[in-house]
Structure 1
Amino acid sequence: MPRETQPETKNAAPLPPPRVSVVIPNWNTRKFLGMCLGSLERQLFRDFSIVLVDSGSEDDSLEYMAENFPDVRVIALGENRGFAAAVNAGIRSGGSELVVLLNNDTEQDPLWLESLVSAADSYPEAGFFATKMLDFSDRRYLDGAGDSIRPDGLPYRLGHGERDRGQFDRRAYAFGACAGAAMYRRAMLGKVGVFDEDFGSYCEDGDLNFRAQLAGYRCLYVPEAVVYHVGGGATGGKRSRTATRLGSRNSLNVLVKNLPLALVPHLLPFFVAGQVVRLATAAATGVLRAHLTGLKEAVRMFPKMKAKRREIQRCRRLSDGEVLRLVRGAALDSTASVARRVRDLLLRRSSR
C-alpha cells in the first residue's frame, strides 16, 4: 500500500508517523471500496497511511478488505453512529500532521494528494483545504468546489450541479470544505475540536467550517486536487427521508451553535424565507414528514446546542463585523452559484 515500511530491528527507533492520514468511513458500501482504494494506490504522493472506519456494515465490507487490502488499517466500530463518530475515530487513531477525510464513493486524480500537501506548504495560514469534486457519472459537471453559506445562513456546496467552465479553476479562500474530500491540519482540529457526534451525519462539516472560521482559521480551495464523486452511496441521496431529516435538523444546529447574536437581525428575513421554501420543497418531493421530524429533533436538541455555543462564542477570535462580512461574502458566492446551477439545469434538460 501507499507508504513503504522497513522491517523493525532490535532497539531501532520507531518510524515517524506518515505526513498524511487518509480516513475513509464505510457503512454497507463495499461496492465502492475497490474504486476508492485503487485510486489511492495510484497517488503520486506516497507519504500517507489509510484508515478505514467501518460502522457495523452488514455486507461483506470487512471480508473484502481483509482479502483485497490487508495492509489498510481497519477500525470496526460494530455499529452505525453516523459519519461524525466514524471519522473522529479515524482522526484520533493517528498522529499525522495532516488529516484527509474521504468518502469511499470517490475516485481520485493521481495528483490529488500531492496538490493538497503542496497547498499546505504554500499557505501555512490556512487551517483546512477544500478540493474540486466532479460528478462521477458526468464529469463535465461539478459536484462541489468548497462549501459556503446561503443568504438564510444554511450550508451550501459551491458549484454543485454547475457545468464546469473553469469558473472554479483558481485557488481561493472559501468558507469551508466538504468533508467528503477535504484536508485538515491536526493542529487546527486540536484547537477547534473534531466533528460534533451529536449531528450523526449531514452538516457536521458545515458546523466545523463555521467553528474554524470563528476561531480565525481560513480554508483554501485547491482546484488541482480533483476527485470524482458518486454521491448518496450510504443514505440514498439528498432527497431520501434519512437525508432530509438529518439535513433539516442539523442545518439549524449549525446556526444555534455558531451564529453570533448580532447577526440574527441581518439573516432573519432570509432565514424565514428559506424555511418556507424548504417546507414547500419537502412537501412537493414527498418528504414532508421527514422534514418536520428533523425540525422537531432540532427543537429537542436546542439546550445541548446552546450549551456548546457558549464555549464556541467565548473562544472566537473574529469580531461581529468580521463575521458579518464573511457570511455576506459567502452568501453572495452561493447565490451566484445557485443562479448558474439553475441555468445549467435548464440547458441540460433542453438538450435532451
Structure 2
Amino acid sequence: MRGRYVLLLNNDAEASASLARELVAAAEADPRVGMVAAKVLDHRRRDLIDTTGHLLYPDGLNRGRGRLEVDRGQYDACSTALFPGGAAGLYRRAMLDEIGLFDESFFLYGDDADLGLRGRIAGWGCAFAPRAVAYHHYSRTSGAYSSLKAFYVERNRVWVLLKVFPWSLVLLSPAYTLARLALAAVGVVSGRGAASRLARDRGVAHLAVLTVKAYAAALRGLPRVLAERARLRPLRRLDTAGFLRMLDEFRLSAGEAALKD
C-alpha cells in the first residue's frame, strides 16, 4: 500500500470535486486523526443527508448521523465523527498498518463500523469534514428493505459487538437489543421503520425467522470473532470508561434505530 492516506469511495457513490482535498486537509490538521468522515448526501435528492459519520447503539447497531434530514448545515460545526460511513471516507495508512484492513467475512454491511471502531479503540480519532461531499445511492446493491440486508445487518452487528465492545457492555447488550426489537415490533404495527417495510412485503413470520437465522450465523462465526478480539487486545488503548464516553457522545437512540427508515 502506497501513500499516507487511503480514500474509500463505494461503487454506488459519486465524489464531488472537493472530496479528496477536504478530507486530506482535515487529516493533515491533526496527526492523531486516523479517519475522516465526509458529508454524504442522497444521490437523487441532494438536499437530504445520508450520513455525516455514524452513530452507535449499545448493542452494536449503527446508523448514519443525520440520515434523511434535510441538509441545512446543522452538522457543519461538528469537527468530529465516530467513524466514516462506507460510502466515502479517508483512512490514514499508519492506522491501517496497525489495525488491519476491512474484515472480509462481514461480506455486506457493518464492515465500516468494525474498521472504524477498531481504529477508535486503538486510540485513533475521527474528524468530520463538512465540505468533503459525496453522493450515495443508499443500499443500491442489496435494496434498502431487503431480506439480504436485514440478515447481514443483524448478524454483523453481533460480530461488531463481540469483537470490539467492552465485556461489560456485551453482557448488558441483550437488554438493549430487546428494547430495540420491541420498538421495531411497534413499528411493524404502526407502519414505521425498515422492519415494517420488510414485514409488509414478506410477512412478520419471515422477519422473525430471518432474525433467528442471523443470530445462528453470528454464533457459527463466534470462534473466529473471539480470536480477532484476542488479536486486538494488545492494540486496545481505549478503556471501558473511554468507550462509554465515546458511546455517549455518538449514541444512537433505540427509537432512531428501530423506527426510522
TM-score by length of 1: 0.65
Match of 1:297 in 2: 217
Match of 1:335 in 2: 253
Instruction: Give the CA RMSD over aligned residues.
Output: 2.3
Q: Provide Cα deviations, 1:156-213, integer angstroms capped at 9, x if missing partner.
A: 2111111112111124221111121011011100101111111112100111111111
Aligned mates of 1:336, 1:310 — CA distance in 2: 29
Q: 1:270 offset after TM fit, Å? A: 1.8
Q: Determine which of 224, 235, 241 is the counterpart of 1:321.
A: 241
Q: Provide Cα deviations, 1:109-154, integer angstroms capped at 9, x if missing partner.
A: 2111111111121122100110001111111210111012024432
Structure 1 residues 197, 120: closer, same or farther in 2, change over 3 A? same
Structure 1 residues 234, 153: closer, same or farther in 2, change over 3 A? closer
For CA contacts below 8 A with separation 6 or more, give which structure has more relative contact order.
Answer: 2
Q: Provide Cα deviations, 1:304-338, integer angstroms capped at 9, x if missing partner.
A: 1112111223420011111111112221xx33994
Q: Determine which of 178, 181, 186 is the counterpart of 2:88.
A: 181
Tell whether 2:53 aligns with 1:135. Answer: no
Structure 1 residues 146, 222: closer, same or farther in 2, change over 3 A? same
For the residue of structure 1 that corresponds to 2:14, the secondary structure is strand
Aligned mates of 2:168, 2:214 — CA distance in 1: 26
- What number of residue pairs does the alignment pair up? 246
Which residues of 2 match residues 57-136 of structure 1 at below 5 A? 94-136=1-43
Aligned mates of 2:19, 2:67 — CA distance in 1: 19
Aligned mates of 1:140, 1:292 — CA distance in 2: 37
Q: Determine which of 49, 53, 57 is the counterpart of 1:146.
A: 53
Match of 1:162 in 2: 69
Q: Of the two, which has the highest radius of gyration?
A: 1
Gaps of 5+ in 2: 189-194
Residue type of the alignment partner of 1:257: K
Q: 1:303 offset after TM fit, Å? A: 1.7
Residue type of the alignment partner of 2:236: R
Match of 1:203 in 2: 110
Aligned mates of 1:336, 1:119 — CA distance in 2: 31
Match of 1:29 in 2: none
For the residue of structure 1 that corresponds to 2:91, the secondary structure is strand
Instruction: Give percent identity, aligned residues only.
Output: 33
Gaps of 5+ in 1: 1-93, 346-352
